[in-house]
C-alpha cells in the first residue's frame, strides 16, 4: 500500500502510475517511451519476433493511451476498454521484466548496427549510447529469438511460435507479482 500512496503524490503532473511489476512501477510516460522504442525496434528489426507477438498496432496505441490517461483524473472505473488494454499491457511488461533477470547480452556488433540507421527513429540517448529503455525491448527480442527461433527458424510456422510465446507469457503472468493502480 505504501507504493499506492507514493504513486498518488510522486507522479509528475499529467502522469499517473498504472501498475507495478516486481519492483518496477510503470507510469503513463513509460507507455509513450515504450511506443517509441517498439516503433524503432520494428524499423530496425523488420522480422522482430517481439513486434510480431505484440502486434504492429501496439506502438501507436501506447502513445494514444498515454495521452488519454494523462487527461483522466481519478480511478479508471467505467473505462472498461482501457482497463482491458492495461491488463494486457501488464502481461507484456511481465515478459520484459522477466527477461531483465536473465543473462541476455546484446552483442556489440548488433548494438553498433542498430545504433545507426538513418531512416529509423533514433535509439541513442544524449550521452551517445543506446537508450536504456530500448535496450530492455531489444534484450527481450534476443531472448525470444534464442528460445523460439533457434538456427534461423524465425519464419517457420509463425502461428505456432506466437502460440508458444503466449503460453510462456501466461506462465509468467502467474509467476510474477504485480499491483494495479487503476
Write out pLDDT tens, residues 6-56. Answer: 333 344 445 789 999 999 999 999 999 999 999 999 999 999 999 999 998
| Residue 48 near residue 139, CB atoms below 8 Å | no
What pLDDT does residue 156 have? 63
Q: How far apart are CA 100 and CA 88, in angstroms?
A: 19
The strand ranges marked E within 1-159 are 17-21, 24-27
pLDDT band for position 90 (cuts 50, 70, 90)? very high
Write out pLDDT tens, residues 120-137. Answer: 999 988 888 899 999 999
Report the helix count and the strand count for the chain, using DSSP H and E.
8, 3
Q: How far apart are CA 167 and CA 23, in angstroms?
A: 24
Amino acid at each position: 500500500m505504501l507504493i499506492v500512496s507514493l504513486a498518488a503524490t510522486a507522479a509528475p503532473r499529467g502522469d499517473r502510475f498504472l501498475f507495478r511489476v516486481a519492483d518496477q512501477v510503470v507510469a503513463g510516460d513509460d507507455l509513450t517511451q515504450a511506443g517509441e522504442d517498439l516503433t524503432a525496434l520494428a524499423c530496425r528489426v523488420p522480422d522482430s519476433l517481439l513486434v510480431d507477438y505484440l502486434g504492429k498496432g501496439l506502438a501507436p496505441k501506447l502513445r494514444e493511451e498515454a495521452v488519454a490517461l494523462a487527461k483522466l483524473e481519478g480511478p479508471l472505473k467505467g473505462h472498461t476498454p482501457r482497463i482491458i488494454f492495461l491488463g494486457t499491457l501488464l502481461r507484456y511488461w511481465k515478459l520484459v521484466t522477466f527477461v531483465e533477470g536473465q543473462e541476455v547480452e546484446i552483442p556489440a556488433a548488433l548494438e553498433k548496427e542498430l545504433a545507426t540507421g538513418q531512416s529509423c527513429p533514433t535509439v541513442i540517448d544524449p550521452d551517445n549510447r543506446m537508450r536504456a529503455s530500448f535496450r530492455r525491448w531489444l534484450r527481450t527480442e534476443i531472448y525470444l529469438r534464442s528460445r523460439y527461433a533457434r538456427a534461423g527458424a524465425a519464419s517457420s510456422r509463425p502461428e505456432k511460435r506466437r502460440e508458444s510465446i503466449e503460453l510462456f507469457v501466461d506462465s509468467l503472468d502467474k509467476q510474477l507479482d504485480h499491483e494495479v493502480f487503476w
